[in-house]
Amino acid sequence: MHYFLQRIRGFGWTDVLTQRQKLVWAVVALSAFCGVVLLAGFFAPYDFAAQDRDMPFAPPTAIHFVAGGGRLQVRPFVYGPRDSSPIPVGAAADSDQPYPLRWFVRGAPYKIAGVFTSRVHLFGVEKPARMFLMGSDGYGRDQFSRFLFGGQISLLAGLIAAIFSVSVGILAGGIAGYYGGWIDEILMRGAELFLALPWLYLLFAVRAALPLHISQWQVFLLLVSVMGLIGWTRPARLIRGVVLSAKERNFVLAARGMGASDAYLLRRHVLPQTYAVLLTQFTLLVPQYVLAEVTLTFLGLGVGEPMPSWGALLTSLQQYSVLSSYWWMFLPALLIIPFFVVFYAAADALQELHKTVPL
């Protein structure tokens, strides 16, 4: 029995894949994930803000392969709504009229990477039928499309905030570690102060004090910079530690003895040693900030309607009626989980490969 338990426990990722393979797989999966999100307009059948007021809280549309007579169809199809009576809230379209699924259809215009405009969508069905892969929300908007578009905002927020944090962290940590003394004291006590501030309330206050005509992108940037600002302390402390030990290494001391300047030493010898810590921190921070965006939006501090973000998609779950009646509103939450798993797997593999500080 004991032997079996040990076998099971030992049978982890590491036994099947080497760390390098694990990293490669994680990066491939991440790229695929990010690719789909980046091309959200193409993969999403609808515009994220398009409301279908006849179909609030529609369940995921059933895709059929077998027609009424029991004949297998080459082209999968969905059923459209009945013309006569409005569909009750939370019910699916249920007429007998089939609408075949079509590939590369023209639909609502969207932008790729904010530059090119296109109207081609990977798939779609003709009106009045609707194709809600993940159901619709309370305004009759397609959850799947909103999930993809929302990913753009959430991932971008995570990336920018992580870059911001790590940059501030490297600057503050590097200077504090390298110069030491009172500079170190001031920077590190400042970092502690940042850790101790009640950020959530500060954010509420900031939001209330802002002018009203601030656009959603301004709110977004504000959100991101605030998240980045809050998070600089941890990478800064880690980097300070690495720099502290790195500047005492023999080759650094030797270079200093030969008359190298501070800037040269930092750039050439000290900071390169922090590279592994930085990379690991970065991979850890991105999902953390995505999660932070989810939390902040959940509390009403994120980008406003009708812009989707992963946090915005989860806010409706605050309501008991949604929670207890419409199971498909949980789907975005479920889909976010693999994203985090892959990201953490990448961070884990990176850390193992470089044998850096434990997570």
Partner 1 sequence: MGRNRLSRVCLVLLVALSCSCSVARGFTAQAGEERMLTEGAPGHAGGRLVIALRSEPKTLNPALALDEPSRDVIRCLTADLIHINRGSLKTEPALAKSWSVSRDGRQYTLQLRHGVRFSDGEPFSADDVTFSFRVYLDDKVDSSQRDLLLVGGKPITVVKVNDFAVRFELAQPYAAAERLFDSIAILPRHLLESGYRAGGFAQAWSLSMPPGQFAGLGPFRLKEYVAGQRVVLERNPYYWKADRAGNQLPYLNEVVFLFVPSEDAQVIRFQSGDTDVLSRFSADNFAVLQKQQSRKGYHLDDLGAGLEYNFLFFNMNDLAAKGLPEIANKQTWFQDLRFRQAVSAAIDREGIVRLVYSGRATPIWDQVTPGNKLWLDEKIARPARSLERARQLLQAAGFSWKSDGALLDARGDHVEFSILTSSSNAQRTKIATIVQDDLSQLGMTVQVVPLEFRAMVDRLTNTYNYEAALMGLVSGDADPTSEMNVWLSSGETHLWHPRQEKPATPWEAEIDRLMQEQLVTLDYAKRKSLYDRVQEIVAEDLPVICLVSPNILVGAANRVGNFRPAILVPYALWNIEQLYVQ
For residues 140 and 235, which CB has a smaller minimum distance to partner 1 in the complex?
140
Q: How far is the CB of 208 from partner 1 (least distance, A)?
A: 5
d(CA 255, CA 273): 15
- Does position 86 interact with partner 1 (CB under 8 A)? The reply is yes
Map the footprint of partner 1 across residues 303-342, applying CB under 8 A: 304-306, 319-322, 324-325
* Local structure of 325: helix, strand or coil: helix
Query: Which stretch, 153-161, 208-216, 270-278, 338-346, contacts partner 1 (CB under 8 A)?
Result: 208-216
For residues 1 and 208, which CB has a smaller minimum distance to partner 1 in the complex?
208
Q: Which residues contact 181 (CB under 8 A, 6 or more apart)?
A: none
CB 113 within 8 A of CB 38: yes
The closest alpha carbon to 196, from 169, 165, 230, 229, belongs to 230
The residue written with tokens 């009646």 in the block is: 325
Q: Which of 35, 272, 300, 338 binds partner 1 (CB under 8 A)?
A: 300
- Does position 89 interact with partner 1 (CB under 8 A)? The reply is yes
* Local structure of 254: helix, strand or coil: helix
Helix-, strand-, coil-residue percentages of the chain, each rounded to 5: 60, 10, 30
- Does position 255 interact with partner 1 (CB under 8 A)? The reply is no
* Local structure of 77: helix, strand or coil: strand
- Does position 213 interact with partner 1 (CB under 8 A)? The reply is yes
CB 227 within 8 A of CB 161: yes
Q: How far is the CB of 109 from partner 1 (least distance, A)?
A: 10
Q: Which of 17, 30, 36, 49 binds partner 1 (CB under 8 A)?
A: 49
Q: Which of 5, 16, 115, 208 binds partner 1 (CB under 8 A)?
A: 208
The site for partner 1 (CB under 8 A) is made up of 49, 51, 53, 56, 86, 89, 138-140, 204, 208, 212-213, 215-216, 300, 304-306, 319-322, 324-325
